[in-house]
Amino acid sequence: MTSPTAQLREQEAAPRGTSSHPVRGINHMAFPTFDPAGTIHFYRDVLGLPVVQTMQVKAWGPEYQRDFVHFFFDIGNADCLAFFYYFGQEPYHDENVPPLLDLGRHVALHVDTVEDLDGFQKRIEDAGLKLDMRVMHETVESIYVRDPNGILIEIARPLRELAAADAVDAEVTAQALLDVVASDGEPTLDALWARKAELIASRVPA
Amino acid sequence: MTTLYFLDAAEFTDVSAVAAAQPGARVERLPGYVAVTADGPLIVDRRATGVRHSVWYSALAAVGHGRVVQYDKDALKVEPTP
């Protein structure tokens, strides 16, 4: 297959967390909530993540805007998970999200050790909440729980440090994916595997 | 001639080792990958690898000149393509 996209940017491949760009993590990611009491209880009291910033705002701007409270939970590294509670807003829940897409949309928090992970599992279970699952993935071990808003929260601890090989493979895979989705054929995993093999072979000095 | 590529990472070592143990298989270490090549089909028995499911189903990084005809809880089988 002829690559319709750019050459592999191998020179930019760097292990996760070592890139030279100026972004320093997540300032905050925000979700609406219709259950502020449950949300504060879950994050602050069950998980132990303090509320570190709030703002109460009189509606202004577009006519659909409402008075709201915006509150932020500390999730480490100066990052925050934030929620909006809009006064008077009718609750909305999308009941039609396919299960696969529902699982694919989640927030993963990082902890360093298995003891940390065990500690969060205990906090969740001691609160009478059900752990969705505990899974040994490829490079992380994770627990999953639903927050009161239905957001799937993953807490993950690393099983090993990521290395240069991971970053190289990420670049190769991304390029192969770009090529596969740009090709005329149906994008499939088989096509991705084949394209990756071509890219890997092209990187090896003859 | 079919080549299976595995990421050169600790969790995939047992998978590439089982693949490489087949008669006629040749192993080459490339930057970031372990490449296992054979003239005929390549078959990897999942239970022989001893790896957990999450690792098993993400072990295959790339396939050169081959077609995956089986990739399930029992085995990975790749046949050469013309």
R_g over Cα of chain B: 11
Return d(Cα A173, Cα A16) in angstroms, integer: 15
Mean pLDDT of B21-34: 95
Given this model, what pLDDT does residue A2 score?
A: 45
Given this model, what pLDDT does residue A8 score?
A: 53
Closest by alpha carbon to A150, among A26, A69, A27, A32? Answer: A32
Question: 3-class DSSP state for residue A19?
Answer: coil
Given this model, what pLDDT does residue A204 score?
A: 80
Return d(Cα A20, Cα A12) in angstroms, integer: 9
Inter-chain CB proximity A204 and B3 less than 8 Å: no
DSSP class of residue B77 equals E
Return d(Cα A30, Cα A28) in angstroms, integer: 6
Closest by alpha carbon to A139, among A160, A170, A115, A110? Answer: A160
- List of chain B residues whose C-beta atoms are within 8 Å of the C-beta of residue A171: none
At a CB cut-off of 8 Å and minimum separation 6, what does A15 contact?
A161, A162, A163, A164, A166, A167
HSE (side-chain half, CA atoms, 13 Å) at A51: 14
Probe site for chain B from A16, A162, A193, A203 (most B CB atoms < 10 A): A193
Q: Between B73 and A13, name the one with better pLDDT.
A: B73
Tokens at A109, concatenated: 């928090």
Q: How far are the Cα atoms of A25, A33, A43, A64, A153 from residue A74, in angstroms, in the given order?
A: 13, 17, 9, 29, 15
Report yes or no: A133 at the B interface, CB cutoff 8 Å: no
pLDDT reading at B42 higher than 70: yes
Mean pLDDT of B22-40: 96
Torsion angle defined by CA atoms of residues A130, A132, A137 and A140, in that order, rounded to the nearest 10 degrees = -40
Question: 3-class DSSP state for residue A107?
Answer: strand
Going across the sheet that includes B42-45, the strands are B42-45, B75-80, B66-71
Is ipTM > 0.90 here? yes
Average pLDDT, chain B: 97
Inter-chain CB proximity A165 and B63 less than 8 Å: no
Of the candidate CATH numbers 3.40.1280.10, 3.10.180.10, 3.30.70.100, 1.10.540.10, the domain formed by A24-90 belongs to 3.10.180.10
Smallest Cβ distance to A200: which of B33, B55, B58?
Answer: B33
For domain A97-161, say whether CATH 3.30.720.110 is its number.
yes
Tokens at A79, concatenated: 């990052």
Label residue A131 exposed, middle or buried (CB < 10 Å: 0-12, 13-18, 19+).
middle
Smallest Cβ distance to A201: which of B32, B64, B67?
Answer: B64
Residue A164 — φ and ψ, nearest 5°? -60, -35
Given this model, what pLDDT does residue A15 score?
A: 72
DSSP class of residue A46 equals I
- List of chain B residues whose C-beta atoms are within 8 Å of the C-beta of residue A200: 5, 30, 33, 35, 61-62, 64
CA distance A143 to chain B (A): 14
Return d(Cα A61, Cα B55) in angstroms, integer: 50
Inter-chain CB proximity B7 and A200 less than 8 Å: no
**Hey, which bits of chain B come out as E strands?**
2-7, 26-30, 33-38, 42-45, 60-64, 66-71, 75-80
Tokens at A64, concatenated: 């659909």
Given this model, what pLDDT does residue A33 score?
A: 98
Smallest Cβ distance to B7: which of A136, A165, A193?
Answer: A165
Return d(Cα A144, Cα A129) in angstroms, integer: 11
Which domains are present in chain B? Answer: 2-80 (3.90.56.10)
Smallest Cβ distance to B63: which of A136, A169, A193?
Answer: A193
Nearest CA in chain A to B53: A137
Probe site for chain A from B63, B71, B77 (most A CB atoms < 10 A): B63
Inter-chain CB proximity A166 and B62 less than 8 Å: no
What are the per-10-residue average pLDDT scores of chain A (206 residues)?
48 68 94 98 98 97 96 97 98 93 96 98 98 96 97 97 94 98 96 98 82
Given this model, what pLDDT does residue A10 score?
A: 47
